[in-house]
Structure 1
């Protein structure tokens, strides 16, 4: 019997994942990861870790599998929380869920599982693992989940071949209603439980309060830039080379306070992110205001009216060599090469047609249609059909 350690989170997905593995004849052990102690910043009625660990334990009892809790809060603070603070401070918007999978679930947690004699680690992610045998060598594939509404492959976009070789995703072939139905039939305590929102394994966090622990509030101005501003008028259309064009398309517009009018005040540019609409506290505009850029050095937030504001859109982005990652190392591009892909710049975004251009310094991703709120620090992931083959941090 192969031994599988399931990351039981106290939710319905991992509960059913554990049950399915049991049915497939694996020896299953449930492990709950405790990643957070500080209740002052979690919204306590939204899945604090204590309720979750109790639910996970009850599920393990019901299924008759061994269960224990591992405390990973130290590693979580070091690898996820500190990284988040640093990124926000630098005016970038990190994605803690992607990092949590790369650094915690499939690294720290996986090492613990393998030390406990596990052959595999399983999670309740909606994605699938495939294997191809091209050239006689086994290569692992990360495939989208069968449930198009819930596909979570994006969150695993930073996994390596090594990590995938030891990972199992038992519910990847199911759709959410089927998962709930199985849990209800088994009378599991998690059957009707709402999906947890917020940070991976922490529960729902009030982000501004969370960030204020480290990043002190600092008053600054909110500037509104008109959509007819000259900045959006003189666009270049002819280029000496494709590389020049890509460089132009990815160049950030530089705003100054004098480009618009001051419409309000904020408590710190590093609390805001591109595309954000809530929390600006500015009324009286015809259309809602969206953040089009933040300047953490000058502590200014630049906004524009309406979700079609030209300041929100760009048709290309860049990923540096250090931040470029291929799950399918065998498909990695050499400098000067291109690849047609489908890509997304955030979870749940429908896949977009795009083209990769590999250059010496990194990788350009050019979209067929301009994308709204391409945000530095977030991940872009690219697919060939339903296989996620690579990803990178937007620079």
Structure 2
């Protein structure tokens, strides 16, 4: 019996080639397009509307001679992803819907539908790889970075479980993007030259303030510029009575008040902004561009600093609460007081940085060798050993 694979055909070149390769490898392949969004009023309409995508996915399936259907997951998407985004922004955090979308939609709701169709595996067009080996008589699955260093998407899958990985295939993980495009054009697939989709998982490019204004009303507040000479930045590192106290200090988020700087402008809602953001402040006349160094949604104030080297942007550590720690490699999970040297990143495409994990009773401290810019609450930190992603967590 041929093994059956359901491919999430998105209407892009990567999933098209994934489906082609699986068919070549002798799998019984079914193409499934996920429709996750209805509201075109907040998308920039000519960017990746779902109709065009589902049409392209259908034409690819036709070309490959595989069955195809569309599933409407917009209810689940709204409930699990869109509502989560509103909640996070309202609390002044910056969510990562793409990571959530993989955990909650593609590898949960979608996977259940696929298994219901008798699938042995689901496959996606992600640039990452899966490893497998045996340990103490048990099969262990690894999530490995994609071969193409410019396209590695392992970070977006940092919340997957052993169970999910066991049923997943990543057919293009060993390929470079130009090779994927070449295969698509050799096979005359309509998606061969199609631009990569931008913006939100499944939604396309969204005008974020307009998107958020559906639930979070605009409210004018002060933009305060904190000078690089602010006295708090000059304080000497104190002496610590315990290791935990030191970790807490290195991970602590600075607290600002309006008297720490001068007002330089007005914004229309602190919850529309995120740390490290430069665009959208609409404040001129500064020597260097202003960057958001913090937001206070309670007081509705945005704190900014001049230049990307402003000391307010940097810190060495972050903290992940116990309930938000996720190990893909559960067999490597740390216990209290254990440490582990890793490479870590706090956003997609960021080069991996040397860091140490410290497991405490309340959660996980991650201390980087070098200070990191714009560590942002609500985003995911992912940690690696070589090219294997071991685990991740929500920055608290």
Deviations 1:321-357 (A, max 9, x none): 0000000000000001000000000000000000000
What residue number does 2:195 align with?
194
Aligned to 1:138, the other structure's residue is in SS state strand
Matched, 1:38 2:39: yes
Deviations 1:38-94 (A, max 9, x none): 000000100100000000000000000000000000000000000000000000000
Aligned to 1:9, the other structure's residue is in SS state coil
What residue number does 2:155 align with?
154
What residue number does 1:330 align with?
331
Matched-pair contact (CA < 8 Å) for 2:252–2:317: no
Question: Size of the alignment, in residue pairs?
Answer: 395
What residue number does 2:100 align with?
99
Aligned to 1:133, the other structure's residue is in SS state strand
* Distance in structure 2 (CA, Å) of the matches to 1:52 and 1:204: 14
Query: Which runs of 5 or more structure 2 residues have no equivalent in the other structure?
Result: none
TM-score where L is the length of structure 2: 0.99
Counterparts of 1:15-54 in structure 2 under 5 Å?
Answer: 15-54=16-55
* Distance in structure 1 (CA, Å) of the matches to 2:236 and 2:252: 12
Counterparts of 1:297-336 in structure 2 under 5 Å?
Answer: 297-336=298-337
* Distance in structure 2 (CA, Å) of the matches to 1:250 and 1:356: 12
TM-score where L is the length of structure 1: 0.99
Deviation at 1:239, TM superposition (A): 1.8
Deviations 1:207-240 (A, max 9, x none): 1110011100000010000000101111324222
* Distance in structure 1 (CA, Å) of the matches to 2:4 and 2:83: 34
Deviations 1:171-229 (A, max 9, x none): 00000000000001011110000000001011111111100111000000100000001
* Distance in structure 2 (CA, Å) of the matches to 1:235 and 1:128: 45
Kindly report the root-mean-square deviation, in angstroms, between the aligned alpha carbons of the 2 structures: 0.6
What residue number does 1:131 align with?
132
Deviation at 1:142, TM superposition (A): 0.2
Deviation at 1:5, TM superposition (A): 0.2
* Distance in structure 2 (CA, Å) of the matches to 1:265 and 1:352: 36
What residue number does 1:272 align with?
273
Matched, 1:246 2:235: no
* Distance in structure 2 (CA, Å) of the matches to 1:84 and 1:239: 38
Query: Which runs of 5 or more structure 1 residues have no equivalent in the other structure?
Result: none
* Distance in structure 1 (CA, Å) of the matches to 2:355 and 2:243: 15
Aligned to 1:180, the other structure's residue is in SS state helix
* Distance in structure 2 (CA, Å) of the matches to 1:128 and 1:345: 21
* Distance in structure 2 (CA, Å) of the matches to 1:52 and 1:130: 31
* Distance in structure 1 (CA, Å) of the matches to 2:52 and 2:45: 10
* Distance in structure 2 (CA, Å) of the matches to 1:104 and 1:252: 32
What residue number does 1:8 align with?
9
Aligned to 1:391, the other structure's residue is in SS state strand
Aligned to 1:171, the other structure's residue is in SS state coil
What residue number does 2:229 align with?
228
What residue number does 2:394 align with?
393
What residue number does 1:117 align with?
118
Deviations 1:247-268 (A, max 9, x none): 1111111111111000000000
* Distance in structure 2 (CA, Å) of the matches to 1:144 and 1:58: 30
* Distance in structure 1 (CA, Å) of the matches to 2:28 and 2:236: 62
* Distance in structure 2 (CA, Å) of the matches to 1:91 and 1:325: 23
